[in-house]
Amino acid sequence: MKKILLVEDDKSIITNLSEFLTNEGFSVRNAEGQTRALELIGEEEFDLVLLDVSLADGNGFAVCSAIKSEHNTPVIFLTASGDEYSTVTGFELGADDYISKPFRPRELVLRIKNILRLTGGSGTVTKLGDVLVDTVKGTASRNGSDLYLSALEYRLLLVFLNNRGAVLSRNQLLEAIWDIAGEFVNDNTLTVYIKRLREKIEEDPQNPKIIKTVRGLGYKVDL
């Protein structure tokens, strides 16, 4: 199910659109202002953002820039009719479509589906706390800035990603990454890599929030 973020401060629009989009099979979240929108974008991964240009706490352009600089979630602008300036600026900031109020919800849905089709779903990004991993690009980032992970660090991260919630024993991890049967790698190598990875992805590596140690059993990522 596609997740849509609706950034809009007109309550009646929120209510109507939310309902309509939900009925159309989308999962919708609302943000009533710029600040809240940026917060949510940092926390969750959306498939598409509907962005009102004129927000009470500032126009939507800042939000659009923020989105486009970090993720490349598609953005559709909602603007007051006749506001040509918005159209221009919106597209220049990388908006993917634009629809002017008042619009028929039905048309909006069509535009949403269309944009999702054109931008190719882009469902390769996974989130781990504030860390974003793009398995197609082979990159990981935190708060928008790239994490420079070595090949093994990256592979280790992927193993955790594919086994969220599960406790992985040292042996499992060793096998998953140093898979050459019979070949032995010093068990501590893993420990060292856990440390390195934590240093790069954790806010406070001494108190890891992402990769937790389960003493006697192994490690797990539970987010």
Partner DNA sequence: CTGTCTGGTGAAAGACTATTTAAAAGAAAA
Partner DNA sequence: TTTTCTTTTAAATAGTCTTTCACCAGACAG
Residues of this chain that interact with DNA (CB under 7 A) are 148, 150-153, 170, 178, 184-186, 188-189, 191-195, 198, 205-206, 213, 215-218
Strand partners, 54: 59
What stretch of H or E contains 88? helix 84-92
Q: Is 114 in the site for a second copy (CB under 8 A)?
A: yes
Q: How far is the CB of 173 from DNA (least distance, A)?
A: 11
For residue 77, the 8-state DSSP code is E
Q: How far is the CB of 143 from DNA (least distance, A)?
A: 20
| Piece of 5-13, 31-39, 40-48, 159-167 that binds a second copy (CB under 8 A) | 159-167
Rounded CA-CA distance 137/68 in Å is: 16
Q: How far is the CB of 171 from DNA (least distance, A)?
A: 10
Nearer to DNA (CB atom), residue 77 or residue 219:
219
Rounded CA-CA distance 192/214 in Å is: 16
Region 167-206 residues binding a second copy, contact defined as CB under 8 A: 167
Q: How far is the CB of 114 from a second copy (least distance, A)?
A: 5
**For residue 108, which phi and psi values (nearest 5 degrees)?**
-60, -45
Q: Coil, strand or helix: which one is 3?
A: strand
Helix axes 84-92, 61-70, angle to 10 degrees: 20
Binding partner of residue 161 among DNA, a second copy, none, CB cut-off 5 to 8 Å per kind: none
